[in-house]
Amino acid sequence: MRRQAKLNQVVCTLEGMATLLQRTPGNFAVVIHGDPDCANVLMHGMDHPGAERFFCTQITPDEAIGGRSLSVLRKCLDGLCEELTPEVIFVLGTCLSSLVGDDVESVTQAAAVRHGVRVVDLAGAGMRFVTQAAVVDRFARLMASAGLASQASEAFQVSGAAAPDPRAVNLVGFDPGEEVRDQLARLGVRVNAVLDLGASVAQWQRLAGARWNLVLDEALFAGFLSDCAERGVAPLEVAYPVGASATDAFFATVLEAVCPGVDDDAVLAGPRAAAHQAVALGIEFTRGVRLGFNLGSKKDLNPRTLAREGLAEVSVFEELGFELVLLLQGDDHPERLAAVREILGGLGCEAPLAVFSDTVFFADLCVDQGVGLTYASDHLRELIVPTDVGFLENGALRPGYSGVTQNVRRIVASLAQAGVGS
């Protein structure tokens, strides 16, 4: 499975879709059609709201063996439609429902007709693991159709939508922060919708109002972008605006496509100069330090951390003069490593690669590789504490020009705490 995913963790389809739906605000319900343990894929508690919209058919062994599992699903859907008023109900199949061959689609279609509620069978859940990228793309395609008239289709649709605004953009899979959004507005670029993790159904329904879908990696949203392009919303791949050089590249790409010829100096000259000055100062502390950039240890279904196979933030450390080594979790099978090196080469990354099979070996690998600072998934932090290696949590870097100064300070502080650097 790791060889299939190459650089990132695989995920159960049920777990992936349930996780993303749980994070999405909106008037909908989700039915997990399986045994009671299948509902344990949900995160419970105050830090993970949304589980109250989930229901489980809790199929018993006798119901599965006796061919009565679909009748349980039918009763569940009838009860939901009679007691609640969701705009849509998503039905997630499981390993058990696939194993017994349940025709879930026939039940969902009948329930939709019976109650006048949109019921969507998310076919394919259970019985297999897929890449996180596949789940993210499928979820985006699903949300693109949210709230529309189709009773069972997951296809993107626009009903009576006005022509897209040529200077409007959707930020798909990432949020560059308030500063960047404000600067775009001052340059004449309207942000139509921010479709990051946790975006509401209402935000997704705004999709057709923009001419451009800005993404960090077109390959991550291949199906979604193709659907949108057919309806006049064009894809535009941009750099994640974190670090001075990547932020430069982000604005250059957006302005060239959306409003060519616009002079950006009045808005960006000051912040840009301050950001590059911060990098110049930071290099005095960071140049030549070996940085371990962790890949393959995180399963968060976050398009930002999945973009460019997890390398979207590498440029931050490259411009600070770090000596980069990639710390890849998983097996070291020659077939996999050959595929990984080919992928990295295609992305222009020639950094050396070091592999650890399990998290318990992470700290030793960092020491063996002479790493002074590691940029890694947060659950690896406690393993680094006994060493003299600095730790910076993946996702801690701030976007935009003002974020550059914050990032440099945080990186230098992490080095100083570990006793590394000038």
For residue 313, the domain's CATH number is 3.40.50.12380
When the pLDDT of each residue in the chain is averaged and rounded to a whole number, the result is 89
Decide if 278 contacts 261 (C-beta within 8 A).
Answer: no
Alpha-carbon span 246 to 358, nearest angstrom: 32
- Domain membership of residue 389 as a residue range: 273-417
Domain count for the chain, please give it: 3
Please tell me whether residues 278 and 374 are part of one structural domain: yes
Three-state SS annotation for 231-296: CCCEEEECCCCCCHHHHHHHHHHHHHHHCCCCCCHHHHHHHHHHHHHHHHHHHHHHCCCEEEEEEC
Please tell me whether residues 312 and 345 are part of one structural domain: yes
Please tell me whether residues 255 and 285 are part of one structural domain: no
Please tell me whether residues 182 and 135 are part of one structural domain: no
Domain end point (choices 109, 144, 179): 144
For residue 234, the domain's CATH number is 3.40.50.1980
Please tell me whether residues 244 and 281 are part of one structural domain: no
Please tell me whether residues 27 and 100 are part of one structural domain: yes
pLDDT the model gives residue 124: 63
Residue 155 lies in a domain: no
Please tell me whether residues 19 and 106 are part of one structural domain: yes
Please tell me whether residues 317 and 232 are part of one structural domain: no
pTM comes to 0.90
Domain end point (choices 263, 297, 312): 263
Does residue 311 surpass a pLDDT of 50? yes
Please tell me whether residues 350 and 390 are part of one structural domain: yes
**Percent helix, strand and coil across the chain, each rounded to 5?**
45, 20, 35
Residue 359 lies in a domain: yes
How would residue 45 be classed by pLDDT, with cut points 50, 70 and 90?
low
Residue 149 lies in a domain: no
pLDDT tens for 314-329 read 999 999 999 999 999 9
Please tell me whether residues 37 and 122 are part of one structural domain: yes
Residue 422 lies in a domain: no
Which whole number is the average pLDDT over 349-355?
94
Which whole number is the average pLDDT over 148-159?
41
The DSSP bridge partners found for residue 93 are 33
How would residue 231 be classed by pLDDT, with cut points 50, 70 and 90?
confident
Which whole number is the average pLDDT over 54-81?
94
Domain end point (choices 234, 263, 292): 263
Which residues, including other chains, have CB under 8 Å from residue 2's CB and lie 6 or more apart?
9, 10, 296, 330, 331, 336
Please tell me whether residues 305 and 224 are part of one structural domain: no
Please tell me whether residues 283 and 401 are part of one structural domain: yes
pLDDT the model gives residue 68: 94
pLDDT the model gives residue 85: 86
Does residue 146 surpass a pLDDT of 90? no
pLDDT the model gives residue 164: 86
